[in-house]
C-alpha cells in the first residue's frame, strides 16, 4: 500500500494487532489455499452483495493487479447475483431443505 491508510487511525487501537494479523495471514498472504486473484474475486462478489462501494473499488483494483480479466470480474459479480437470486427464491418459497438436498444429489 505504500503507507498506512487514514481509516486505520480510526480503528480501535486495541483491535489493530488482531485485525492486521488476520489481513496479513489471509488476504495478503500468498501461502494460502486460494490465489490472490481468487481471494480478490470472492471479496468483490461479497462486496457487491453487502454492498460496500469502498470494497468494490478496492477489490476490483486488487483483482486486476492479481491478473483478473474484465470477464472474470464480471463473472464473479454475476455469480454473486445468481446466488442471491436463487437464495431469495429458495428461502421465500420455503423450499424444504432435506428434499432439496436429495434432489440435488446430496445425502
CA–CA gap between residue 27 and residue 8 (Å, rounded) = 16
Domain ranges for the chain, please list them.
36-107
Rounded to an integer, what distance in angstroms lies between the CA atom of residue 85 and that of residue 17? Answer: 38
Superfamily of domain 36-107: AhpD-like (1.20.1290.10)
pLDDT band (50, 70, 90) for residue 45: very high
Residue 63 pLDDT grade (very low, low, confident, very high; cuts 50, 70, 90) = very high
pLDDT 10s digits, 65-100: 999 999 999 999 999 999 999 999 999 999 999 999
Residues 30/36, Cβ–Cβ less than 8 Å: yes
Amino acid at each position: 500500500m505504500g503507507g498506512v491508510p487514514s481509516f486505520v487511525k480510526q480503528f480501535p487501537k486495541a483491535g489493530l494487532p488482531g485485525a492486521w494479523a488476520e489481513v496479513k495471514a489471509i488476504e495478503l498472504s500468498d501461502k494460502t489455499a486460494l490465489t490472490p486473484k481468487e481471494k480478490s474475486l470472492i471479496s468483490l462478489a461479497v462486496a457487491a452483495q453487502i454492498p460496500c462501494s469502498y470494497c468494490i473499488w478496492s477489490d476490483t483494483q486488487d483483482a486486476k493487479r492479481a491478473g483478473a480479466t474484465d470477464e472474470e470480474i464480471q463473472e464473479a459479480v454475476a455469480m454473486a447475483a445468481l446466488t442471491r437470486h436463487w437464495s431469495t427464491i429458495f428461502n421465500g418459497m420455503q423450499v424444504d431443505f432435506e428434499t432439496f438436498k436429495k434432489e440435488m444429489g446430496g445425502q
